[in-house]
Amino acid sequence: MTRRQALATLGAATLVGLSRLARADAPAVLGSAIGPDGAFHAAALDGELSERAGAGLALRVHALTPRPDGREAVAVGRRPQDVAFVLDGAGETLRASFDATEGRRFSGHGDYSRDGVTFMTAEIDFETGEGVVVLRDVAGGYQPRAEFASAGVGPHELIGAGGLVAVANGAKEPKSEPGVAALGRTTARSNVALLHAGTGAAESVAALEDGMETLSLRHLVATPGGGVIVGAQDTAKGARDLPLVARVEGERLRFLEVDYGLAARFGGYVGQLSLDASGRYLAASGPVGGVVGVFDLETDECLGLVPAPDCCAVAADGTTGGFVAATGLGEALRIAAHESGVAITARRASRLRWDNHLASRANFV
């Protein structure tokens, strides 16, 4: 079987799998977007890549996180905002909102505990840039219950990882206006901290080595075997040559090697990571370079890139090797990966301009 035949077969299997996993009109992935009227919305894509504009939001948000039971989701404001919104599981109804703790701003991300009882937010001290993980009581209206230090400066994404909390402490900021002044002048190096979910005690802190200090570690995924993978953004102007995806191995970051021709096409920027249903294939969006790349985690090799201009948002679609991506130019894509390569298998124009992140609905896969 040729590479092209293999990918065509996988694309067909993906479509069959999607029709079996969910109704055609059931939201498969959640995200945020700007509507034709310029207003901010929670939004969803179904199994046929049809869009659905959901609850209107008063401001731009960064990432939506579904609760494990699929009945609720939280959209955290995009820094420098200090508000988060609680939505129903389909992102259609705004239920409540809550604020960052005093003197802090949200990082744009949060995550639920596996039992859905606690929602964790990464927050940044407005004066110092130091990071804090805040544990919030879901049943109590998402009010803070406890907190501990993130073991770094400028945390961005945090995720639960096998009884631990993994935090990507970004330190240096890729943005020209970081929203927290301290992040624009820090000399701290970015790290990934693995923290005990109950006490905040550090299990390990993996910091960048010499020669990699311009990177800001931003986004995370947890692997089925309990590992953590991080994606980076290079804060050096015009930087294109450093690897951007790494495995966290204790106190060490092991970057996945990509040849220069592929690495340069990411534009020095990984915007989101997503792991497929099998745990083998890892998608990494490169909105600056206008690509989505897929890695085979059995070999740690990059299978290839597909063109996706202004695409930051990517999520698993519930099938082996299958992903959904959405762009800021108004297009939704289905991407299929196989050990022989990666390809776009479907695309659809959207009236929505999609923002930074997509999330697979917890009850979809």
Query: How many Å separate Cα 277 from the centre of its chain?
Result: 16
Task: Give the mean pLDDT of 252-262.
Answer: 93
pTM confidence score: 0.90
In a domain, 339, yes or no: yes
Q: Determine contact, residues 158/165, Cβ cutoff 8 Å.
A: yes
In a domain, 300, yes or no: yes
Instruction: Indicate if the pLDDT at residue 257 is higher than 80.
Output: yes
Instruction: Indicate if the pLDDT at residue 6 is higher than 60.
Output: no
Is residue 140 classed as helix, strand or coil in its secondary structure? coil
Q: Give the residue numbers spanning the domain of 296.
A: 3-360
- What CATH code is carried by the domain that includes residue 304? 2.130.10.10
Q: What is the mean pLDDT of the chain?
A: 90
Q: Which residues pair with 165 in a beta bridge?
A: 160, 195
Task: Give the mean pLDDT of 43-64.
Answer: 94
Least confident of 14-18, 141-145, 164-168, 343-347: 14-18
Cα distance between residue 208 and residue 136, in whole Å: 30
pLDDT tier at 24 (50, 70, 90 boundaries)?
very low
In a domain, 37, yes or no: yes
Residue-wise pLDDT for 89-130, tens only, equals 999 999 999 999 999 999 999 999 999 999 999 999 989 999
Q: Which residues pair with 206 in a beta bridge?
A: 192
CA contacts within 13 A on the Cβ side of 324: 30
In a domain, 365, yes or no: no
**What is the helix (H) or strand (E) element at residue 13, kind and residue range?**
helix 3-21
* DSSP string of 114-141, one letter each residue: TTSSEEEEEEEETTT-EEEEEEEETTTT
In a domain, 206, yes or no: yes
Q: How far is CA 310 from CA 2, 119, 122, 317, in A?
A: 31, 30, 26, 20
Residue-wise pLDDT for 329-342, tens only, equals 999 999 999 999 99
Least confident of 6-10, 26-30, 212-216, 218-222: 6-10
Structural tokens at position 248:
């966290």
Percent of the chain scored above 70 by pLDDT? Answer: 89
Question: What pLDDT, on the 0 to 100 scale, is given for residue 179?
Answer: 67
Task: Give the mean pLDDT of 4-15.
Answer: 45
Q: How many domains does the chain have?
A: 1
In a domain, 181, yes or no: yes
| Higher-pLDDT residue of 240, 231 | 231
